[in-house]
Amino acid sequence: MRKFVESIRRLWAIPEAGILAPLVVCAVVFQSINPTFLGESSVSAILRAMAFVGMIAVGQTWLMISGGIDLSVGSVAGLCAITASWLMKAQGWPVPAGIAAGLAVGAAAGLINGVLSVRIGIPAFIATLGMLYVARGLNYLLCKGYPIYPIPDALKEFGRAEPLGLSWAFLLFAALVVLADLCLRRTVYGRMVYATGGNVEVAAIAGIPTTRVRIACYVFTGALAAAAGILLMCQLNVGQPEIGTGWELDVIASVVIGGVSLFGGVGTVVGTFLGLLLMQVVRSGLVVAGVNTHWQTVAVGVIMVVAVGVDLLRRRTKIS
C-alpha cells in the first residue's frame, strides 16, 4: 500500500501528470459511451484536426516560455495562406516560391511583433493584438473578400494525400513536436529560452543575448503560423480568407492547459501536445456522445481553468 501511494506521488510530481490523468479519464469515459470513439477513423480524425492549431501551439510554447505571447497567430496564418495562394494564382509564381513567400510573410509578422514588444517595449499583448487586426485587414484587401482558387494541383494532391492513414500536415506536426521538444530540453538554445523567460536579468548577466532569443521566438511562432495556414489551404484546396479565424484562442488555451506559465520560464512541448490532445478528445468525444456542439466551447473553457488550477495544486504539494 505504501509503495502504491509512493508511486502515485511520484507520478503526480511529473509536470505533465496534471494533463495526462484527465486525458486518460476522458478517453475511457467517451469510449464507454460510444465504442466507436477509439476506432481507427475516429482517432485519425482527432489527430488530423490537431495539426494546424498544434503547429502554431508549438511555436507559442517556445514563445511563452521565453516570456512573450502572440495573439496574432490566427490572422497571420490566414494572411500567409492568402498571400501564397494569391501569388501562385494571380501572379503565376511557381509553387516553391509561393510557399516560401507565405512563410516569409509569417516570419516577418513575427519579427515585427518581436521588435515592437521586445525592443520598443510595447506590451506583447497590445503589439500582437494590433498585428491581429492588421493581418486580417491585409488578408481581405489582398483577396477582396473572395476565396482564391484553384490552387496548383501539386498542392491539392499534397493536401489530399493520406500517408499512414493520416495527413502530411499531421506528420509534419508530429515531427515538429518531437524536434521542438528535444531542442527545448537538450540544447543550449533551449536552456537560453528557459533562462530568458525565467528571469531576463539573470539571463542577461549570464551573457545570454536575451533580446535576440526573445525576438527569435516571435519569428519562429510567426513562421509556424504561416506553415499552418498554408497547410490548411492545401487541405481545403482553396485560399479561404477565413483561415485562422479564432485560432489564437485555441492555441493559447492548449498551451496553457499543457502547463506553460503565462509568466514564462516553465513548460514543455510535450505538455502542449497533451493539452492539444485533451482539447481535441473532449471536442470529438462530445460529438460522438451526441451532445449539442456548443457544449464543446463550454468544455474547453472549463478544462483550461481546471487544468491551471490542478497545476497550481500540484506545485503546492511538491514544495511543502
- Binding residues (CB under 8 A) for another protein: these are 186-189, 191-192, 194-195, 198-199, 201-209, 265-266, 319
Distance between CA 138 and CA 134 in Å, rounded? 6
Q: In the block, which residue shows the cell 465504442?
A: 35
Nearest to 223 by CA among 62, 36, 25: 62
Q: Provide the minimum distance between the beta carbon of 259 and another protein in the complex, in angstroms, as a whole number.
A: 13
Kindly tell me which of 16 and 70 has the beta carbon lying closer to another protein. Answer: 16
Q: Provide the minimum distance between the beta carbon of 273 and another protein in the complex, in angstroms, as a whole number.
A: 21
Nearest to 149 by CA among 106, 88, 100: 88
Q: Provide the minimum distance between the beta carbon of 118 and another protein in the complex, in angstroms, as a whole number.
A: 15
Kindly tell me which of 199 and 245 has the beta carbon lying closer to another protein. Answer: 199
Q: Provide the minimum distance between the beta carbon of 271 and another protein in the complex, in angstroms, as a whole number.
A: 15
Q: Provide the minimum distance between the beta carbon of 206 and another protein in the complex, in angstroms, as a whole number.
A: 5
3-class state of residue 280 by DSSP: helix
**Any idea what the Cα angle at residue 51 is, between residues 288 and 306, rounded to 5°?**
60
Kindly tell me which of 38 and 204 has the beta carbon lying closer to another protein. Answer: 204
Cβ(196)–Cβ(66) under 8 Å?
yes
Cell output for 118: 521586445
Kindly tell me which of 229 and 264 has the beta carbon lying closer to another protein. Answer: 264
Kindly tell me which of 137 and 209 has the beta carbon lying closer to another protein. Answer: 209
Cβ(275)–Cβ(281) under 8 Å?
no
Kindly tell me which of 89 and 315 has the beta carbon lying closer to another protein. Answer: 315
Q: Provide the minimum distance between the beta carbon of 197 and another protein in the complex, in angstroms, as a whole number.
A: 10
Distance between CA 126 and CA 128 in Å, rounded? 6
